Structure 1
Amino acid sequence: MNLTAGAAAAAAGITALDTVSYLDMVVRGRPASEVPAEAADELAERAGIDLGHGEKADSRRTGLGALLGYTAGLGVGVLYGLLPGDRRPALPLAAFGLTVAAMAAGDIPLAAAGATDPRRWDATSWISDILPHLAYGLTTAVVYDRLTRPRGRPGRRWRRR
């Protein structure tokens, strides 16, 4: 178990996810998603927290939405770090599992808050969700492997040790 390596790998994964998301915005000229802010607003309301009104409230919603995403990404990495070393899958399977876990950790709370409904997404929306999470999963798996690999030992590329 290595919680620190899991958190550090997840931080790298979050950076990759954000980079791919912002590149998508640049390439397609799409605006930032309002979904995280809407979910943050719903969750704050359910918790009895008043975010206020006007521009400051909008900024609080946006910031809280981003923080919820970071919390989900870090949580997935920390949970991955809890896996015993002999139970950790080969790198490609780890990357896939981390991708799916990050999508679930990010999308399920948004859907539960009523901010989005993945059943109604078109292909472009799915691709816009999958690609950043895939970047997260790959990056988190590779960085975790590099951080926890015994010195002088080659990395696990395609096979289990």
Structure 2
Amino acid sequence: MHTLINGLIAGAAGTSALNATTYLDMAVRARGASSTPQQAVEKVAEGMQVDLGEEEQAENRKEALGTLLGYGTGLGAALAYGLLARRRTSWPVGVLTLSALATFGSNIPLVALGITDPREWSASSWVSDIVPHLVYGAAAYAAYEQLR
């Protein structure tokens, strides 16, 4: 139970740090938010034949559910880390492990759904993806180790 609670707290800390980093990047570069989470929700809803409602309702639900998927990924990555890291790990190993878990957890489903293909990403797209995930890893690792 202790591992579960620590993982959830660390995942929340990491997800908050990732979101803050992403929004800072959006503000600095005046770029829009990614639409891939909403596209994932739309594809899954279509595949499951779930009606998200009329136009505005559907868009609002896709935005909300897409955001919740991100929180779920962040919490899930830290929970997985907690189960994998029974002993203390060094800072670089812990940060990189958490970063990789979050990166793969968010990108593999998008690739599987055919929404994105990282092989086609520009350098700025890679930076926009990797930097927040590294910040996630650092924050989640710090929180997890502090709670340990």
- Settle same-fold status: TM greater than 0.5: yes
TM-score (norm 1): 0.87
C-alpha root-mean-square deviation of aligned residues, in Å? 1.2
Distance 1:25 1:10 in 2: 22
Distance 2:85 2:60 in 1: 40
Unaligned ranges ≥5, structure 1: 149-161
| CA deviation vs aligned residue, 1:94-135 (integer Å, no higher than 9, x gap) | 100110110000011111112211111000000000011011
- Is the aligned partner of 1:40 residue 2:46? no
Shift of 1:85: 2.7
SS in 1 for 2:107: helix
- Counterpart-to-counterpart distance in 1, 2:34 and 2:84: 33
Residues in 1 aligned to 2:8 and 2:81: alpha-carbon distance in whole angstroms = 9
Q: Partners in 2 of 1:76 and 1:34 — Cα distance?
A: 22
The letter of the residue matching 1:90 is S
Q: Which has the larger radius of gyration?
A: 1
User: What does 1:59-138 align with in structure 2 at a 5 Å threshold?
Assistant: 59-83=60-84, 85-86=86-87, 88-138=88-138
CA distance in 1, matches of 2:122, 2:3: 38
Identity rate, percent: 46
SS at match of 2:106: helix
Q: Which residue number in structure 2 is paired with residue 5 of structure 1?
A: 6
Q: In structure 2, give the amino acid aligned to 1:127.
A: V
Aligned residues: 147
Residue deviations 1:18-58 (CA, integer Å, cap 9, x gap): 00000001000001111110011101111221112311100
Q: Displaced runs of 4+ in structure 1, greater than 2 A? A: 83-86
Q: Give the match for residue 57 of structure 1.
A: 58
Please say if residues 99 and 136 of structure 2, whose CA atoms lie closer than 8 Å, have aligned partners that are also in contact.
Answer: yes
CA contact (8 A) 1:16 1:139 kept: yes
Q: State the match for 2:143 in structure 1.
A: 143
Normalised by the length of structure 2, the TM-score is: 0.95
Instruction: Say if 1:63 and 1:82 are closer, same or farther in 2 by CA, change over 3 A.
Output: same
Q: 2:10·2:78 contact (CA, 8 Å) conserved in 1?
A: yes
Change (3 A) 1:81 1:27: same
Q: Does 1:21 align with 2:14?
A: no
Unaligned runs of 5+ in 2: none
